[in-house]
Amino acid sequence: MFPSSSGFTFSASSLFSAYASLTGILMLLKSIFHDFVPDQLRSYFTDLFNRYFTPKSNNLTVIIDENFGLNRNQVYDAAEMYLRNKIGPETERLRVGKTPKQTHFTISIEKGEEISDCFQGSDVKWSYSQSENEKGDKVKRLYELTFDKKVKDKIMGAYLRFVVAESEEIKRNLRVVKLYSRDVYSSDDDDGSAGGGWGCINLEHPSTFDTLAMDPSAKKKIIDDLERFLKRREFYKRVGKAWKRGYLLYGPPGTGKSSLIAAMANYLKFDVFDLELSSIYDNGDLKRVLLSTTNRSILVIEDIDCNAEVRDREAENQENEEKFRGKVTLSGILNFIDGLWSSFGDERIIVFTTNHKERLDPALLRPGRMDVHINMSYCTGLGFRTLVSNYLGLDGLNHPLCEEIEKLIDSTEVTPAELAEELMQDDDTDVALRGVISFVEKRKLERSKPKDKEEDSMCKEVVKKTIDDDEKQSGKNKKKRSGKRNGRGKR
């Protein structure tokens, strides 16, 4: 028995009976509501009930579908790429995949999983879901982004732009750099977009700025220049210049010019277009081929001084124009790298290489065409330290033989390629380093001998010339004396 404030008492059985009666009435009303009330009216009453009796949420959820109309949704792809780096230890289910073209695994969250993120002090939540249509033959994939309504403008604006930008950076870091040439066919996994007869393979050159046998300060200057170039899009636009940069790599063979180009490509994740001018028919063909290259790329023209097709402009002006038909001329190259056609793309780097800088026409060397001149000189002691680290896996400062080698290297002319070959001769560190000492001493002796011979030869030439001059002068004097005697006889 349960007493009440009004003096009535209720038993448990009476309460249960009242509850059962109320439940029955509600079930009857629900049945009548579904059976006799039309669907549209029933939906109206349901929405009205939810509007007034369901507590309002402070969150807003944005749906990001896989497709946007008939096109692929860029925001969906950006979210999928961005969330790969946000997967935490609390995630329970993941999807993993890999195609033959990829060198890495693709990881993404599974249906129903959630990932939390924070942007400028505001928390957001990502979740992945998918649903099938009624026929079950088409899957709809989407991401749901949930956040507080108060930060709607920030999330819908700055945050989504940030997600897209971060995804592009992730893709650049994961992409495989391509090496394009007009002398090869594209591989089966070519996903490049270059035309104009370019074929490509994956650039698998392992060279990086860390492994380059260059002076550390020289490497830093190159890296800083590349970084500054990438960040100055608006600057180039403001000053009215094409967004490109020209480099001239000059120096003896074996000093690492090709390795530096590979290091630049691996650092920037730029494709490389290797252009052989001998394969180009004329200036028109050159223009067509260069226009087919892509943005964010490095155009390489090696041994520019050895291309007979590139004539100096004075010769072009003096010779008959008929002789230059069907040839690539210096004017044609200059017009493309610094004329109206130079603005055909963005983020372009042009690299010329030569073993003899002095042979190049001054018109090629000026800023705007070759902006940065990099002297790829013989190896230095600091460069040798990098080689020792690469090939022997040790710090040159901690080995007694390295100091002796560095002094020898600084006093003679030897290329990084020659030193690298010597370091590969033996697996024993001491044996390899002694081999380097022997090689450098021999090279130093060889370098000094031709110089001595040259000096001896020059001395002999001077002596011979002096003797010849004396003999000639003596002959002239004899003729003069003979002429004078003949003259007196006639008189």
Domain boundary among 375, 396, 413: 375
The predicted model scores a pTM of 0.66
Are 196 and 316 contained in the same domain?
A: yes
Q: Which residue range forms the structural domain that includes residue 419?
A: 381-446
Is 491 part of a structural domain of the chain? no
In 3-state terms, what secondary structure has residue 244?
strand
Same domain for 286 and 302, yes or no, is yes
pLDDT beneath 70: ranges in the chain: 1-10, 12, 33, 35-37, 42, 44-45, 48-56, 101-103, 132-138, 184-196, 307-326, 339-343, 396-397, 449-491
Count how many domains the chain has. 3
In a domain, 469, yes or no: no
Question: Domain check: are 350 and 439 in the same one?
Answer: no
**Which pLDDT score is estimated for 462?**
47
- In a shared domain, residues 157 and 297: no
Position 447 scores a pLDDT of 76
369-404: per-residue pLDDT in tens?
A: 888 999 998 998 888 888 988 888 877 667 888 888
pLDDT digits (tens, 9 = 90+) for 147-186: 998 999 999 999 999 999 999 888 887 778 889 988 766 5
- Phi/psi for 6 (5° steps) reads -90, 0
The pLDDT, as a whole number, for residue 473 is 55
Predicted confidence at residue 287, as pLDDT, reads 83
pLDDT, position 294:
85
Same domain, yes or no: 81 and 124: yes
String of DSSP letters for 204-242: -----TTT--S-HHHHHHHHHHHHHHHT-HHHHHHHT--
Q: Is residue 68 part of a domain?
A: yes
Domain termination site, one of 375, 392, 417:
375
- Tell me the CA end-to-end span of the chain in Å, nearest whole number: 178
Q: What is the pLDDT of residue 141?
A: 85
Same domain? 346 vs 392: no
**For residue 43, is it within any domain?**
no
Collect all residues with Cβ–Cβ distance below 8 Å to 141 and sequence separation of at least 6.
65, 66, 76, 128, 129, 130
User: Both 249 and 366 in a single domain?
Assistant: yes
| pLDDT of 286 | 82
